[in-house]
Structures are given as structure tokens and as C-alpha cells.
Chains A and B, each alone.
Chain A
Amino acid sequence: MGAREVPSLTVTSERQSAPAMRLARSGFRDPERAERLLDSEVFAQVHAEMGDHLASALGSCADPDLGLMQLTRLIESGSDPDRRRWVREWAADPDALARLLDIMGLSVALGDFLIRHSEVRTVVIDSEGLTRTPTPEGMRTALLHSVGGDPHDEAPTATLAEDAAMDALRIRYRELLLGVAVRDVTGMASVDIVAEWLSDLADSALEAALAIARSANPHHAASTRLAIIGMGKCGARELNYISDVDVIFVAAAPEGVEESDAVTSATVLAKAVMRICSTATAEGGLWEVDAGLRPEGKQGALVRTLESHLAYYGRWAKTWEFQALLKARFSAGDRALGDAYVDAVSPLIWSAADRDGFVVEVQAMRRRVEENVPAALAEREIKLGPGGLRDIEFSVQLLQLVHGRSDVMLRRPATLSSLEALATWGYVARSDSSSLADAYRFLRTLEHRLQLRHLRRTHVLPEDEDELRVIARSLGFRSDPIAELMAEWRRHAREARRLHEKLFYRPLLQAVARLDAGEARLSLQAAEERMAALGYANPSGALAHLTALTTGVSRRATIQRTLLPVLLGWFADGPDPDAGLLGFRQVSDDLGATPWYLRLLRDESIVAERMAHILSSSRYATDLLLRAPASVQMLAADEELTPRSLESLTIEVDAIATRHDTPEAIVSAIRAMRRKELFRLAVGEILGTTGSADVGRGLTDVATASIDGALRAAWQSVAGDGVHHARIAVIAMGRFGGSELGFASDADVMFVYEVLPDADETEAGKQAFAVANELRALLMTASTDPALEIDADLRPEGKSGPLVRSLDSYQTYYARWSSPWEAQALLRARAVAGDPDLGARFIAMIDPLRYPIEGLAPDALREMRRVKARMESERLPRGADPRLHMKLGPGGLSDVEWVAQLLQLQHAHHIPDLQDTSTLSVLDAAVTHSLLSVQDAATLRSSWLLATSIRNAVMLARGRPSDMVPTDPREAMAVGFILGRGARAGTEMREEYLRVSRRARQVMERVFYGE
């Protein structure tokens, strides 16, 4: 079937007539239909009198198909004499027809309105009238007349019946709106002027609606004074074509009326005004009147007296309410009262920045503004999201609140004029202000065109390509409308997205750097106010750092001046902005003179961003970085952040040992290597590029290589070039043995030696002890590089036993004295350094002990359970909430590890897969061999992993270890930030830990205690 249809389609297009092709070229989507319409009787007279004018007018409108269709409907709607008169009008002034088509070929809604009320076409036709600027007074007079009210009356009252008045108001309002739209689309007025007119028109409509309300409620009208205060966009005189009109109602009692009666009457009128504006009649509705910005919002009284408003703002209002009051302006009703209201509230606005909690509230508001737009809309959304209209408006208002207190010049309602004022008085750089203003104008124009199309409230570009093309054409993009529009939008979006940098941070540098003598700049006091508002706890300290970083003409100062605006924003996003800035200053002081450092920061923006992230969140990493700032180079490339393999570390250790002569020099080089690797791992964890398990393995490899190197140095220190009496192996135990080290872990080890053939036994013992002791000293003495704690307490007899034993001595000990507890500890034993053959023999020696052939005898099992139970009640620190103790609490690390170790003791002899030192590998093997269900293993694993990563994050954030899930809000937030969690991380993280550990505990009780 399909095959037969294809050729017939081709034929149609081939048959396209020459006129149709011309029509297609001038923008028609359906040239055939256009041709048919133009050839119809309707247009005979137009063609006759106007020749080509019609075609060119159609070609220049945004949607020629729509324009032609609507024009056809308009002509058809008229009687014969009408038509003749209209065509004569158009013939007399072909521009008039072009304007008519500009409107009808863009706005479906206004086109329909023109067809329904053909008499209003004069607004479009009358070219002289269009040159007269619409005035507020003119609009007010026109709309009051439409309802039969007297504009000179102090309280105009409608004389038309309510229904008739509402219809009349709607028709007259749209007629005036049409006048604004014509001036807009034909380019006679800029977007800010259009927005002012739309606001004035809304004021007048409110006035007329109030006149209708008065006539319907004469008694109430007589017993109150009511002022309508414009808020939001209406108040700022930057209204859209279609948007809710935000208002606040204020009432006062006239002479001889009780105040409460006056408020009651005013409430009746206010409700009527809202209804009169929003009700849909045969002529549709105007818009919603939204009184939600009033005190107490929707729950509050609709109308209040001025005193009641002031009492509320004095006591209860939140920061955002003051921000809203920035826009308050008398709109309609009793002007004296309205002006009194505005005069009384404006001083209140400017104290908002002094309020407790201002910074916190502002940051919450900022987050809300930037909150992610759903991905599906992000590509087409012009209002929400970073750099959108709302972001620009909010940022400008924030600066007004912060600086407007001390500078009256900033106290303006509209976004564009505020931006202008901020630039004029030095709060924002002139060039930044003008590029943002351009972006804002562009976005607003786009929004206006979108809304004009159907007179609907929208701020999302249409998905439909045809619709998008119409919008693009209406903005004057003609050759490839969609592509041109998108390119232009992207260009502005690029500017707007760097909004915070430009508005908030760059001017701070101007304040301290004393450049551009000609331009006004932020005062130091204003800069401090701003720093505080952005979340810096110690603004004067921060400014001192800024000054130090940016003063002077050196290349370094110059580059830092360009970098810092961005960095300051990134610091402010972290949990501790002050620490971020301080850290940056310290790194820069150290590296500023090295040529690559600034180049790196300037050219690799990822380095700067990562550095800001780390410095403002992790004391541990900051500390490592400050010990050797050159590590910052690592941040440039992702592959640099991958943990290095043990092989490559060992090669480096080999090289170090060959290169240096003295033991001290070797160990010092090794410890420097370790510091660098710790930084690499810390950064990987903070940025989320390295997983928890990989961090554990990486830390273990670093410890292994360090001990390997230190052992060589220790030998050299003890024996020099002399005789060795023994060989030594280092056995890793505990988390070190399990390849699960954390940032806060010590390295648990045991030392084993063997007397060399022909050597003296006593000498050998002494030498081995000296080497082990030296190794610990070399790694643990204080130096600029962090120490690696070597903990040998798991050795036989613990602290009271000898530090080193011979293989035979271990064998004797384990054969005679060993407790089940020691066999369990040996499950994690792994030879990591020293003589490999000796290490292997040690492991072979302990295998029968830790993987007993008969499994776990009933009394041994009982003993193990009893020990665990006693540990649970005794080992926990006093006063700590056991459930939050990640190591020993229920469901914590120890619970999970004991489950794994129990399964090993029971089954590892027969199941070699279980012969593994890593907890997670043992759990996996247990699942493979059906000793544990998949679900149980997953539960244990997730608790173990969460505890491990919180413990690491605590260490990274504070630089000090803790086994408790943090409860202090600040600390919890910092830890949550490192774990990449959201703003309310603290409570949620604790809740999640309690949940997963509770589940793990249930599994543990079942598997370990056999319940």
C-alpha cells in the first residue's frame, strides 16, 4: 500500500504552481491553501486596489499562514460596505495593512479579538494615534469611561450595570492592550517601555474594577477608603502581557466611621475587585489578582489598615517579604492612602539586611531560585534556573537589600533601572551591568512574544518547530529563524550564567584592588556587608585576604583578580567559605612565584574549581596541600586522581632507595611520596571520582609501599653495610591486612624474623628488634609529612609481648597458648613487606589455625559469641549513643566483620574462596557458596560501606578521626557535603545510617547469634 502512495505525493509537490512556490519562499507553511485563499473572491477587491502590497505584508509577518487566515476571516465578517471601506483604508495607507498583519500574524488571541470587534481596528490603522505615547492618565480615563465612571471623581463609580460594565471593561482593556502590542511588534517601543505601559494599563483596569465594585456596593463604598498597592512586576512597572497582578489592599476609615467597619467594607470592595478582574465573561477574563504577598499570606486578612501592616512588618515579616516590598507602589484607589503606605513601609525594607538569619534566609532563597529545572524543560525554559529571568531579578534585589540601606540611590523598583543604578554607583562594573541588561531585555522580549501568541502565561519555548519559527520570525530572525534565535539566546545565556560572578564577586575585588581609578567602586564597608550576605563568617578577615591576593601590578595579582570572582562563588557554595579563601591565600603565597601555578589556575578552570571545593570543605586535604602546595597540579587531569597501583608505588620506592644514601633521606622521600598519594586519594574521595572500596585499597597500597621503603631504610640504619643476622617479614593485620584502611586508620602489623644460617641466635633477635623498632621510629617521628602509625598490639601477648618473634617462637606460641580470639585476628593476616619467602612460610604456618579443618567447635562458637556480646556492652565509650557508633555499635563495622569472620572460621578450610582477608570479598564468596543469601550480603555490605565512607568523610572534613556519626549540625553538614549529599544532609545521613545499620544488625543477629 505504502508503495502506491509515495509517487502520488511526489506528483503533488511537482505540480506546485509558480505562485505557490513564491508563497512558500515568503514563509508560508501551506502555500497551496494560501494560493487558494488569495485567489478566492474575498481578496478580489484587495488585489485590485493594492496590487503587491498584500503579498509583501504577508511575507513580513511572523506567521503568514495565520495572518492570511485571520485576514480572510476579518473580511468575511464584514458587510459589503464594511469591506469596501476597509480596503480603501488599507489602500490609502499600506503600512496600516502591514501593521494589522503583524498583529494578526503573531497573536491568535488578539487577531480573534479584532475579528470579533472589527471597530477596534482603528487602533492599528490610525498611524497618527500610534505615535502618541500612551499615558497612565489616558488609560485610566478610557477604562473609567468604558464603565461609565467619572475620572475626575475622587472615588469614581461605574454607572453601567455590573455585567455590562465587566464586558465593556474587558473590550476597552483589550483595545488598549492591542495598542501596546502594535507598538511593541512594530518596534515603536522598547521592552521596558512596553512593560511600563502594561503596568499602567493594569493600574487603570484595577481602578475601573474598583469603580464597578463601588457601584455594586454603594454603602460600603461610602464607609471606607481603599488603596490598592501594586506589588511584584506590576509594582515595579515591569509587567508581562499575561501574568497574575500582585497587589496588597490597604484601608482607612473616613471621618465618623469605626475602623473595623471600614475594614469590613474595604474587604467587600477588595473581593469584588478581584472577582471583577478574574471572572471569565463572554469577553473572557483580564487576569488573576493575587493578594498572596499580604501579611500572613493566604491565611491573613485580605485588607488591613496601614497601622496593622506596619505592626506586622515590624514584628513578624520574613526577609522575602521585605524583598517583595521593594516593589510596592500605589496602583489604584485612594491615592493619598496608597502613597502614605509606600512612604511608611519603604524605610522598613532597608533594615532587612540587619535581621538575624538574613544570610541563612538569603541562601535558602538563592537555592530555591536556582533549583533544578526539570531536565525536559531546561533546554527551553527562559525564566527559571541559573541565569534565567528570575535569577537575574533575584540577584539584583539581593544587592539592593544589602547595599540599599546605606545608599539611597539604589532604592528603585524595576530590575533594569536598578541594574543601571548599581553600575552608576559602583556596586557592579559598568560593562557587566550592560551585558546583563542586554540579556535581560532579550529574555523579556522573548517572553513577551511567547505570551502574545495566545495571550497565555508561559515562559517555556515551544517544542513544536513551526511555533518556534513563528516566535523567531517575530523577533526579526528571517534567514534561518530557529538557528538564529537559539544562537542569540545562547549568547545571552552565556553572559547571564556568569551572573553571580559579575554581580556579587567581581565588584568585591574592585573594592580592594583599587584599579580603574575612573570608575566608581564598592566601599570597603559595602564590601563587608556583601561578604557577610554571601555566607562569609568573618568578612573583614576575608577582605584582608582579598586585598593581599589582588593588590599590586604583578602578573600574579592580575591573574588572581580575574580568578577570584569565580573562586569566591565556589568557596561560598562550600561549608566553610572562610577556610576556602584562607587556604587559597596560603597556597598562592607559597606558589605565586612559580610560573606554572597561575597558568594552571587560569587555563585549566577545572583546577580552580576543584581547589575551591577542597579548600572550603576538607581540613585534612587542605592540610596536606599546604604541606606541599605543588600537589595542586594533580587536580588538572582525572587520570591523575586515579589511585596508583602498588607496582608503580614499589617502583618509585625502589628508585628512592637507590637514589638516596642515608636512611633519613630515604624515609623522608618516602613520606613525601605518601603525603602526595594521600592527597590524591583524599581528592578522589571528596570529588567522588574514587569509590570507597578503591580508597581503602589505595590507602593500603600506600601504606604497604611506605613500610617496604622504611624497612629498607631501617636495615641500612641498623646494619649499614655490615652483616645481617636475620631476615624479617612484616605481616599486615586488621584493616591493613584486609586492604580496607581508612584515612584515620593506623597500620596494624606483626614482625616475624628468622635466624640466618650460621648466625648467632641472640644477635639475630637483637638485630631484628632493632630493625623493627627503627622502622616504627622512621615512620612515626614528627616531620612536615604526616606520620604513619605502626601498631603492633595484635602480636602475641599484646603490648607485653616482644615486638618481634622468630617464626619458631610464633609457632610454639600459637600451638600452646593461642586463644580463639587470636585465630580470629589472624584471619586478616597478610604478608606485605620484607622477606617474601619468610612471609609466605608464616602465612602457611597460621593457615591451619585460622582455617581449622574441623571448623568451629560448638564451645568455640559459644565462646566467640560470648566475647562479641561482652564487647558490645563493654567496649563502647561511655555516654555515646551506641547506635551511632560506626565501629562497635549495632549493625556497624564490627558486626559485619564478625559475621564474615565467623563464616571463615566455620567453612574456610573446605571453601578456599573464603580464604581472603577482605571483608567484602568474604561476603561475596559466602554468597557464591550459599552460606549467606544475596539479600543478607547486600544488607551487610551497604552498612559496612556507609560506615566506612562516613568515617572517611569525618576525617577529611575535620582532620581528626571519630567513630560517631556526626550530630553537630555544622559538622554533619560538612561531612554531608563531602559525601555529595544535599543541603539537609545532616539529619538525613544520620537517619540513613540508623536504617541500614538496623537492617545489618538484624542479619547479624540471625547469622552470627543464630537467632
Chain B
Amino acid sequence: MAKKSALVQGNQACAQGAIYAGCKFFGGYPITPSTEVAEEMSAMLPKVGGKFIQMEDEIGAIASVIGASLAGAKALTATSGPGFSLKQELIGYACIAEVPCVIINVMRGGPSTGMPTGPGQSDVMQARWGTHGDHAAIALVPQSIQEIFTETVRAFNLAEKYRMPVQVLFDEIVGHMRERIEYPEPGELEVIDREAPTAAPGEYKPYDASKGLVPPLAAFGAGHKFHVTGLNKAEDGFPTTKAELVAAEEVRQIQKVECEEARADIESNEEYMLEDADVVLWAYGSSARSARYAVNELRKEGIKAGLFRPITLWPFPVKRTAELAEQAKAIIVPEMNLGQMIYEVERVAQNKCIIDGVHRVDGDPLNPGQIMDKVKEVI
């Protein structure tokens, strides 16, 4: 039997993916161009026994999400750049307290109120370093309606598995455009639930990493008493300033995402016509769609172009980017910002090839012609 399909917006597909992943709580504060995620969640959550709440502001929204998650629910919030800024304080809290949650950022122009109805990709560094202090970050950057669905499911899986906030970033174009989606059957996509503690309620330690880098998280109200704080803490969850404990905890919280095994699990890329490519277009989100169009046109003109598209933007695809820098004459980074990921590409490429960017921040998407002109200028 053919799968159920529909023509839906990216934002709707995101909400539908969240429900598929078992999300039972949404706390948000509406903001263009992300509002349809909240709208759709408010319609769907009551049908699956979940709860929806519109909070008084953005930080209240992420606070409610952290609370819901600590009580055992898979929890989601959605926002755009200005709201993402306002949530940063508690995103840091979710990092240090190791609370799984998913944060959607449908990117628009900025800084500040910027251009609410125009697309942008200028929050990609904020997704890495928006909250202060050393911390790991996971950010996924889907480019299509179908992929928004599957990456939202994957975001929940990673949040639960690595016990941390996971961000999904797409832009106004992908958030608001409509394409056909074919819905996966229940069970077709993997859905991961957080590991439950095996320790007896009286013996449970929420940060006991003796069995692995990610300690199991108990649900509040289910019998285990524990303490949660934004302070550096010992394995029992209570604050500590003991040097060896503080350092070890900070390192573990980064290692759980950046160790080789975790990277292999979290990283996801798509490659197109890279085998013999002289020029690599390194592009993500809707800009990657423009880049792919450009690759096809350039190939018709005999220019060996290819596309490297990170689907996981953070952790950064260090290994593959370094390999491509060895292979190609040039890496071009098209972004709807004035240059953000390009600096990370430059850092990793270590002068092995030419690195150049194509930028656009006027509310229009990067068009393939712009990218093609840059490629021709560089080679």
C-alpha cells in the first residue's frame, strides 16, 4: 500500500515529526516564522495525551520545557532568532544539568527584530556558542519538508540518548514552503527513549558516570529524589567547587558528544558529485538547494563542481571537510549571512585549498547564479 502523503509546510512537518518521536510537551512563545510549529502542536498534542502551553515569554517557554523533561516527557520549543537569544540562559542550564529537550529555530534575518518574514542563516554560530561557558552542542540543519520530519525525530533521539538540548535549525524558506511528504509508518523510523536508572530510589545519583559518559536520568515524581542545579555539581547533583570534580564533569559533558564514537553516531552528511570535484560547494539548509542547482548547471558547462551538505552542523564535520580541502582546488561556502560557517571551514582546511564565500542578507535566498559566478571567479 502506498504511504500516506500530504502537501505540508516545513513547520507543520516539524510538529508532525515531534509527535512521531513521542513528544508530549510543547512550551513556547509565538514568533514569525516559527509560529506554525506551535500552532500545529497545540492541535495535535491534546490528541496524544500531551500538553501545550503558551508561556509569558521565551525564557519562560524554555523553562517549562526543561521542567517537563525533568518530569519525564519528551519536550519541544520553537522560536526564531530573537527568541533564541532570549532562551540562551536556560539552554546553558539544560546543558550543565543535562536535560534532554529539542529547540527549533526557524531562522530569519537579524540581529534583533531584523526581518521577521525574510529568511536568514545567521544563527548558526549562536547555535554553537550562544550560551556562555564551555559546552557541547548538537545542531541539525534539514533542507526539505521530508527531512525536517526525519531530522526532528532524530533530534529527539539524540536529545534522549545524549541527555542534552538538541537544536534543529532551518530557515524561513524551508519553514514556510510546501512540498509533498510521505509519512513513515509507526516503527519505520527509530525512536529512542531515555535510559531509565537501575539504582534503587534511595541510591540514585543523577550524574554517576561510572557506567558511561551519559548517566541515566530519572523522572521527577517517579520515586527518585534528586537535586538539579545550574552550579557545577558532584555526581549526587549537589553543588561542588572541588577542582577535580568540576573539571572532570565539564570534560565529560563535552566528551559525551565529541568522542569519536559519539561523532560517528551524530554526524550526518550528504555528498553529491564529489568524486572528481575541483570545486566543492559546502552548503547547508536551503542554501544547499541553490548550491545543488548550481552544481548541475556548472557540470553542464564542464566545470567539475560538487556539493558537500552537512545535515549535522554541530558537531562540525571536521574529518570530511579536511579531506575535501586536500582533494579540491577550492571550497566555496554559500550562506545567508555575512560569513559564519566559512570560518570553521577555513580553520579545518588549514590553507590546503582556496576558501571563499557567497553571502546574502537582503531577505532573498541565495540564487544559483550568484553561486555559479563565484565558482567561475575562483577557478
- A joins B in a complex: no
